Amino acid sequence: MWFRRDLRLEDNPALIAASKVGAVTPLFVLDPMFLQRSGAPRLAFLFRSLRELNKAMGGALVVRVGDPIEIVPMVAKEVAATEVFAAKDFAPYGQKRDAEVARSLEKVGAKLNHVGSAYAVDPGTVRKADSTPYSVFTPFSKIWLVNGWSAPVKKPNVKWNGAPSIKSESIPDDPALTAKIADAGEEAAWKRWRYFAETALDKYKDERNNPDRDGCSQMSVYLRFGVVHPRQLLAELEPDKNHDHYRSELCWREFYADVLFHQPQTTWKNLQPKMDSLQVDTDAKAKKRFEVWCAGKTGYPIVDAGMRQMLATGWMHNRVRMIAASFLVKDLHLPWQWGAKFFMKHLVDGDIASNNHGWQWTAGTGTDAAPYFRVFNPVLQGEKFDPNGKYVCEWIPELRDVPKKFVHSPWLQPEGGLFAQYPEPMVDHSQERDEALSRYKISGEINRSVV
């Protein structure tokens, strides 16, 4: 059993299939590419999840570091396995890797079997009547609901043939962290779910956008690494407006995976090619502005609070993700790809489909795109969704003594009220909004002239 984004024993179809064949060697391969591209919170969560998984299977997990194309057939040969089981990966890198692993396994007399996936409904399943894929969320979601999904299943009784009799490398020590990240493991995931279900699920539709309260499930971290499966969460939901809204959030995750499956080039390219003509800044000054945004020192509290939260914990509230993304693209006029790459490095729940298409949605280059001229005002967004400044002050201690009236616009305080340790706004939002609209208008004129 080759574990990847399914670090659980419950409701794991690939593990069930493997257990029916015979004794199971549980393998996890630490891919150097993932290790190099991931920030400390992301790596720490993975390592802790592996320790919890190993504990759940009585220490049988076999961990190897290296290229899966070499490691998987090597271990299969060591244990004389003729069958290798894994959940299907629909992301561009995963599909390419798996095809090469399958070819390598054939050379040692083994077969790669894909059973299940990280989704309730596999990407590529939901299609229009003419068999073409959907590019808009709402009609996709209706067919997704009609398609449905199977019920979760219990963990199987497995006869393990793993460590210590099979050589395993040590799970690396956690990298140094400055703040607490989500607890790892299936038990921790369900503890968090129960807390959310009891305290916030019945208010989810109205309060999910407020970062000043604990109103999000924060299950995205567990879904990213397959500590829980979306099918398991869907089974917890009832017909109810709040539950329905949470169900639709799970559907958004599957919609973005479907779009990426059909159009893998959109990992880093605009889904809407007409937006390719939009002018973005990439010079030395642009790179300096990007560094300021990355550090959470833009001078706009709601943006900076989100960036600092992500750098410290590997997680950022979804509404704040949109605000921070809008600021990068429409106030600083930088490529969305820069921000998407930075998020992928630092977010523990970073999922290439959801992350990059979420960025494209905000940038106005992707699916169901908010029109490019919808520019988030970071001050008004902060005042609306963090009215008392609780969220901002949690992550920006420099502003804790600022009167609530000015917490989202500290530069408006009476003379002498600014704190030297917090920067003034790096740009004037109203001016940059006009600049963004101007660039959008020019881009549209270019496209019309081409047509």
CA distance 39 to 58: 29
pLDDT digits 0-9 by tens, 83-124: 999 999 999 999 999 999 999 999 999 999 999 999 999 999
With bands split at pLDDT 50, 70 and 90, how would you rate the model's confidence at 450?
A: very low
Residue in this structure with the two tokens 């279900």, named with its chain if needed: 197
DSSP reduced 3-state for 305: helix
Q: What is the pLDDT of residue 442?
A: 86
Residue range(s) of every CATH 3.40.50.620 domain in the chain: 2-117
Q: What is the pLDDT of residue 374?
A: 78
Superfamily covering domain 2-117 = HUPs (3.40.50.620)
The CA-based angle 207-209-213, given to 5 degrees, is 60
pLDDT digits 0-9 by tens, 355-383: 999 999 999 898 865 566 678 999 999 99
71 close to 64: Cβ distance less than 8 angstroms: yes
The yes-or-no verdict on residue 416 having pLDDT over 60 is no
CA distance 151 to 397: 46
Q: What is the pLDDT of residue 417?
A: 57
DSSP reduced 3-state for 288: helix
Write down the pTM of the prediction. Answer: 0.93
The yes-or-no verdict on residue 66 having pLDDT over 70 is yes
Q: Which long-range contacts (CB under 8 A, 24 or more apart) does 173-181 make?
A: 173/47, 174/43, 174/44, 174/47, 174/48, 175/40, 175/43, 175/44, 176/40, 177/40, 177/41, 177/44, 178/312, 179/312, 179/313, 180/313, 181/41, 181/44, 181/45, 181/313, 181/314, 181/315, 181/348
CA distance 385 to 306: 13
| 119-151+186-262 is classed CATH 1.25.40.80 | yes
Mean pLDDT, residues 393-408 taken together: 93
Question: What DSSP line would sit under 200-235, residue for residue?
Answer: TGGGHHHHTT-TTS--S---HHHHHTTSS-HHHHHT
pLDDT digits 0-9 by tens, 245-293: 999 999 999 999 999 999 999 999 999 998 999 999 999 999 999 999 9
The yes-or-no verdict on residue 205 having pLDDT over 90 is yes
With bands split at pLDDT 50, 70 and 90, how would you rate the model's confidence at 196?
A: very high
The single-letter DSSP state of residue 411 is G
Mean pLDDT, residues 288-313 taken together: 96
Domain topology for 273-450: DNA Cyclobutane Dipyrimidine Photolyase, subunit A; domain 3 (1.10.579)
